[in-house]
Amino acid sequence: MKDNIFRISVCPRCGQAYTAPPATARDGSGPICPDCGTREALESIGVDTKEQDKIIDTIHRCQRGCGHEH
């Protein structure tokens, strides 16, 4: 039987706890949470904070199943 072991980390950027694999900060400062990694990537292509929030919300919704009934 496989044990499910979750590692809980705290993001140095936003202070939130996360269990997903980390992203690597673009400035080389180390691991950050996936949301901050996504924000860094979106910011690098000029996406504003309000749109970043919408995109991250969509990602979270889809990770929970997107609410689609089949």
Domain ranges of the chain: 9-63
pLDDT value, residue 47: 98
* Bigger pLDDT: 68 vs 57: 57
Rounded distance, CA 52 to CA 12, Å?
19
pLDDT tens per residue, range 30-52: 999 999 999 999 999 999 999 99
Rounded distance, CA 57 to CA 60, Å?
5
Rounded distance, CA 60 to CA 14, Å?
17
| Nearest of 12, 60, 61, 9 to residue 36 by alpha carbon | 12
Amino acid at 47: V
Which residues touch 36 (CB under 8 Å, ≥6 apart)?
A: 11, 13, 14, 23, 25
